[in-house]
Structure 1
Amino acid sequence: MRIISGQFKGRRITPPKKLPVRPTTDMAKEAIFNILNNNYYFDEISVLDLFAGTGSISYEFASRGTEDITSVDEDFGCIKFINKTAEEFEMPIKTVRSDVFKFLETTKIKSDVIFVDPPYAFSLEEFSKIPELVFQNDLLEDEGVLVVEHAKQMELSHLPYFSYSKNYGSSIFSFFEKAEEIF
């Protein structure tokens, strides 16, 4: 795994093999960050990385100058690895070891970008609960976006707040945004 852009571009990160993860591919990361780069100044936003796994997405944000990053994962090994890597690179990543659904039910953290990379084996009900909790608990800033990574077989376009999706190889990124109020 490598960081694809920013201050730490090209740096390789080698997570322990025993972590229960499926890291986002470099091609998919590059694509998603190109989309986000057109909408945000990375040094001005706050990011919530859910099901953070190895921390790959958090490292990309930090490498691009984001100072307010919170990574959430239930696995102790993942959190330990993210903390170790963030300390090694002096990245401003805060970690929370928690079940993501419980975290979303109780957190007061509002973010500009919420990136979610749950297990592809999740059911539609489990995937549906993510945007439901994010919007029900008002966890996005006004111009914020929720990005959910999932497999091609999972269709999320019928869910409330769905905006659009982008397909990259075996991954799809579905974007959810607050509806604009029309006066």
Structure 2
Amino acid sequence: MRIISGLFKGRRITAPKKLPVRPTTDMAKEGLFNILNNRYYFDDISVLDLFSGTGNISYEFASRGTEHITAVDAHYGCIKFINETADAFEMNINTIKSDVFKFLEKSKQKHTIIFADPPYDFDVEAFSKIPELVFKNELLEDEGLLIVEHSKHTDLSQLDHYSYSKSYGGNMFSFFE
């Protein structure tokens, strides 16, 4: 995987093979950040990266100037890798090792963008818990956005607060406001 834009543009990051991850493709990531670039100044926002895996999305935000990034993942190896990579690049990424659903239940901090990349094999009920908890606990700032990455075979359009979706190959981003 590589960082698409910003201070670390073009830098390649190679995650250990033993991590249980499926990084967002460069094509999908570029499309997503084109959308976000038209809506936000990256140095003025707070980002919560859920099911952060390799930290791919967090690194992209950090490279573009975002200073308030929190990455949450349940896997120790993922958190360790994000910490090591963030230290190597001198990125300010706060990591939390936690089950995402438990984290969302307890969290009180608001964010401008919440990005969630859960396992693609989640059923719609599991996917629905993400926006349900985010909006119930008021975790988005005004003008905030929840983005859930999923397979193009999963339809989240019936969920509360759904706004629209964008597809990039086999990847789909659903936006909730």
The alignment-based identity, stated in percent, is 73
Matches within 5 A, 1:41-60: 41-60=41-60
Q: Which runs of 5+ in 2 are unaligned?
A: none
Q: Which runs of 5+ in 1 are unaligned?
A: 178-183
Superimposed CA distance per residue, residues 131-155 of structure 1 (whole angstroms, 9 cap, x where no aligned partner)? 0000000000010000000001111
TM-score normalised to the size of structure 2?
0.99
Q: What amino acid is aligned across from residue 61 of structure 2 in structure 1?
A: F
**Aligned residues, how many?**
177
The CA deviation at 1:109 is 1.6
Q: Distance in 2 between matches of 1:99 and 1:152?
A: 25
The CA deviation at 1:61 is 0.1
Q: Distance in 2 between matches of 1:32 and 1:70?
A: 19
Q: Are positions 1:135 and 2:135 aligned together? A: yes
Q: Distance in 2 between matches of 1:82 and 1:109?
A: 21
Which consecutive segments of 4 or more residues in structure 1 shift more than 3 A? none
Name the SS for the 1:36 alignment partner: helix
Partner of 2:109: 109
Matches within 5 A, 1:1-183: 1-177=1-177
TM-score normalised to the size of structure 1?
0.96
Name the SS for the 2:167 alignment partner: strand
Q: Distance in 2 between matches of 1:129 and 1:120?
A: 14
Q: Distance in 1 between matches of 2:109 and 2:83?
A: 19
Superimposed CA distance per residue, residues 58-94 of structure 1 (whole angstroms, 9 cap, x where no aligned partner)? 0000000000000000000000000000000000100
Name the SS for the 1:43 alignment partner: helix
Q: Distance in 2 between matches of 1:171 and 1:120?
A: 10
Q: CA RMSD in A?
A: 0.4
